[in-house]
A and B are shown apart, each in its own frame.
Chain A
Amino acid sequence: MKEDMVKLISAEGFEFVIDKKAAMVSQTIRNMLTSPGSFAETEHGEVTFPEISTTILEKICQYFYWSLQYASSMVRSWVCSPMIISSSFLEAIEWEGD
């Protein structure tokens, strides 16, 4: 795993390899990856989300990249699939729009 990339793994085992900077948009993931010694994730740069389905994890990764672009450009509109409101996703994750 390259230094600046991380791997997010969905419930079905799909692996999303994205920029670390993008993944750190989520406070939860940021904590997991930067906390000294508490998480196995810090070593391998891999985080598994057994409650999040593949299609939703894909959307989340899209959100991360969009969020990074938000500050630098005037891109404002982003279409968000209603699937995201499935309750399992919403229970599992804390997000911090930064």
Chain B
Amino acid sequence: MGGACSRKQDQQDNEDDLHRRVSGRYFKSGSSKWLRTSFSRASTDISQGIGSCPSLMELCISRIREDINKYSTFSMLPRDISQQIFDDLVCSQCLSDYILEAFRDCALQDINLGEYPGFNDSWMDVISSQGSSLLSVDLSGSDVTDSGLINLKDCRNLQALNFNYCDQISDQGLKQISGLSNLTTISFRKNNLITDQGMRYLSGLTNLVKLDLERCPKIHGGLVHLEGLSKIESLNVNCCNCITDADMKAVSGLRSLKSLQIASSKVTDNGVTFLKALHKLTLLNMEGCRVTAACLESLSVLGALLYLNLSRCNLTNDGSDKFSKLQSLKVLNLGFNDISDAILVHLKGLTNLESLNLDSCRISDEGMINLAGLHRLKSLVLSDTGVGSGGLHHLSGLVNLESLNLSFTDVTDGGLRKLSGLSSLKSLNLDARQITDIGLAALTTFKNLRSLEICGGGLTDAGVRNIKDLTSLTLLSLSQNHHLTDKCLKSISGLTQLVSLNIANSRITRAGLQHLKPLKNLKSLTLESCKVTADDMKKLQSTDLPNLVSFRPE
């Protein structure tokens, strides 16, 4: 690490988008937005946590930020330095019209102004002045206009554009970027103005690898313009309810496609037949589509398919024998379907499965026996099913299991004892009414546990003592356990890796807050409906927990 920093590539959206990130524009609470952005932006903020001394570079940049009005230009600095200064100003929300001028002609590579409150269209002039150095621009959630994009033509080496939630961009905006042939990633989520006509401007972007048009309601018929893009690997048209089977015909020509997301579209079993040609497809998201098990016939020829999401598809047990053909699958999501134990018989042979989601399906203990042989399973979601302690017996051999969700099931304390051999468990959700202190005693063997949620109301301070040695915990939720008092905080005070703690709706008072002082890594603390005021929380943050970003009450 040093002055000559190599360029960090931001990890763009998780392909699957299980954690649908919503634009800050739709957040009501200011603090939760700040929590989100503080995680997503790299920060050169000094208070990075106890034990890490700020580097000389960080000190300098922080000082520059304080004296920022003294500097009229940074163009004489090496680009890595001016890039770090720019990023720091954005992160601390100090960038303004006036200060931005100092970054003219600085050869910056990345302009990340997503959700930045001060942005306006006139900034595009300075942004474009980075010329051929500019590689990526993120203006998501801003009011940038089509005419603002005109000057981007000077940035011939642009690779990545993020214009999610930019309400002013229309087909004309696409026209402005149509010549940037080095573009590999484009994203225009939730755009009501882009139509199939605008998409013809994308046909010249022959290096395009990733295209995200989630929630664009007017692009039906436009996918045909992508047919010449031989490198395209990832296409996201989730929640575009204008997409129909006819659009799938256009998609069938994209032979390099690895990831296709068509959740909540109007695609049916018929449309899925066109996907047979996509031999490189590894990820397919059809959540909320009106398909049946019949579509599995088409999918069974896709030998590379690793990830399949068929949640909320109104699937029934009919034709579910076809599931057994999908041998390559690693991740399968069947949540919120009208399926029962009978379907699990056909999953028995899918031994490559690492993740299985059966949320809100009519599964019971009997069906669990079919999962006993899935030794590669790392993640299992059984929330809101009929599974109880009897079913857990069949899971006791799944030694690779890392994440288990048993919320809103009939699991009892006795059932938890059956899991005691699963020492690899990192995440456990036991938000179920029947779990009491006895159940917690069974958890002491889970030394790798990072995330634990038990919100059923049956816990007391004595039970919480059982988890005091689970020092790997980063997330802990014991909310809705109204018997818990300040005493339980003593047990928690040793869990110094905690980043998120929730004990809302309990009998905790301000007297107990002193036990939280050692938890220096805490970023989020929720003690709503306890005898704790917003002022108590603010005081705790300012004197002892400097990393605290989000807290309730606030």
Do A94 and B77 touch (CB < 8 A)?
A: no
Interface residues of B, Cβ cutoff 8 Å to A: 1-4, 46, 51-60, 62-64, 67, 70, 76-78, 81
Chain A residue nearest to B61 (CB atoms) is: A85
Q: Would A97 and B58 be within 8 Å (CB), given that A80-B63, A85-B64 are in contact?
A: yes
Find chain A residues with CB under 8 A from B56 CB. 60, 63, 80, 84, 95, 97
Do B77 and A70 touch (CB < 8 A)?
A: no
What's the least CB distance linking A8 to chain B, in Å? Answer: 14
21 interchain pairs (CB within 8 A)?
A28-B2, A60-B56, A63-B59, A70-B53, A80-B60, A84-B56, A85-B64, A85-B77, A87-B77, A87-B78, A90-B78, A91-B78, A93-B2, A94-B1, A95-B1, A95-B2, A95-B56, A96-B2, A97-B54, A97-B55, A97-B57
Q: Would A87 and B58 be within 8 Å (CB), given that A93-B3, A98-B53 are in contact?
A: no
Q: Kindly state the separation between the CA atoms of A67 and B4 in the bound complex, as whole angstroms.
A: 21
Q: Kindly state the separation between the CA atoms of A76 and B64 in the bound complex, as whole angstroms.
A: 17
A-B pairs, top 7 by smallest CB distance, nearest first, are A94-B2, A97-B55, A70-B53, A80-B63, A90-B3, A95-B56, A97-B53
| Those of A11-31 within 8 Å (CB) of chain B | 27-28
Do B63 and A90 touch (CB < 8 A)?
A: no
What's the least CB distance linking B508 to chain A, in Å? Answer: 28
Chain B residue nearest to A98 (CB atoms) is: B53
Further 12 A-B residue pairs, CB within 8 A, beyond A82-B70, A87-B78: A28-B2, A63-B59, A80-B56, A80-B59, A82-B64, A91-B4, A93-B2, A93-B3, A94-B1, A94-B2, A95-B57, A97-B58
Do A82 and B78 touch (CB < 8 A)?
A: no
Find chain A residues with CB under 8 A from B63 CB. 79-80, 82
Question: In the complex, how many residues of chain A place their beta carbon closer than 8 angstroms to a beta carbon of chain B?
Answer: 23
Chain B residue nearest to A91 (CB atoms) is: B78
Find chain B residues with CB under 8 A from A98 CB. 53
Q: Kindly state the separation between the CA atoms of A95 and B1 in the bound complex, as whole angstroms.
A: 7
Q: Kindly state the separation between the CA atoms of A90 and B85 in the bound complex, as whole angstroms.
A: 13
Find chain A residues with CB under 8 A from B70 CB. 82
Q: Which listed residue, B51, B55, B60, B64, touches A96 by the CB 8 Å rule?
A: B55
Q: Does A71 contact B (CB under 8 A)?
A: yes
What's the least CB distance linking A57 to chain B, in Å? Answer: 12
Q: Kindly state the separation between the CA atoms of A96 and B64 in the bound complex, as whole angstroms.
A: 19
What's the least CB distance linking B45 to chain A, in Å? Answer: 13
Chain B residue nearest to A69 (CB atoms) is: B53
Q: Kindly state the separation between the CA atoms of A82 and B70 in the bound complex, as whole angstroms.
A: 10
Chain B residue nearest to A68 (CB atoms) is: B53
Find chain A residues with CB under 8 A from B62 CB. 80
Q: Kindly state the separation between the CA atoms of A91 and B2 in the bound complex, as whole angstroms.
A: 10
Find chain B residues with CB under 8 A from A95 CB. 1-3, 55-57
What's the least CB distance linking B327 to chain A, in Å? Answer: 48
Do A87 and B76 touch (CB < 8 A)?
A: yes
Chain B residue nearest to A97 (CB atoms) is: B55
Q: Would A71 and B53 be within 8 Å (CB), given that A78-B59, A91-B78 are in contact?
A: yes
Q: Kindly state the separation between the CA atoms of A12 and B243 in the bound complex, as whole angstroms.
A: 70
The residue among B53, B57, B81 with the most chain A CB atoms within 10 A of its own CB is: B53
Find chain B residues with CB under 8 A from A70 CB. 53
Find chain A residues with CB under 8 A from B76 CB. 87
Q: Kindly state the separation between the CA atoms of A94 and B77 in the bound complex, as whole angstroms.
A: 16
What's the least CB distance linking B121 to chain A, in Å? Answer: 31
Find chain B residues with CB under 8 A from A93 CB. 2-3
Do A94 and B3 touch (CB < 8 A)?
A: yes
What's the least CB distance linking A30 to chain B, in Å? Answer: 13
What's the least CB distance linking A24 to chain B, in Å? Answer: 13
The residue among B51, B54, B58, B81 with the most chain A CB atoms within 10 A of its own CB is: B54
Find chain B residues with CB under 8 A from A80 CB. 56, 59-60, 62-63
What's the least CB distance linking A88 to chain B, in Å? Answer: 10
Q: Kindly state the separation between the CA atoms of A70 and B47 in the bound complex, as whole angstroms.
A: 12
Q: Kindly state the separation between the CA atoms of A96 and B3 in the bound complex, as whole angstroms.
A: 10
What's the least CB distance linking B4 to chain A, in Å? Answer: 7
Find chain A residues with CB under 8 A from B53 CB. 67, 70-71, 97-98
Do A90 and B77 touch (CB < 8 A)?
A: yes
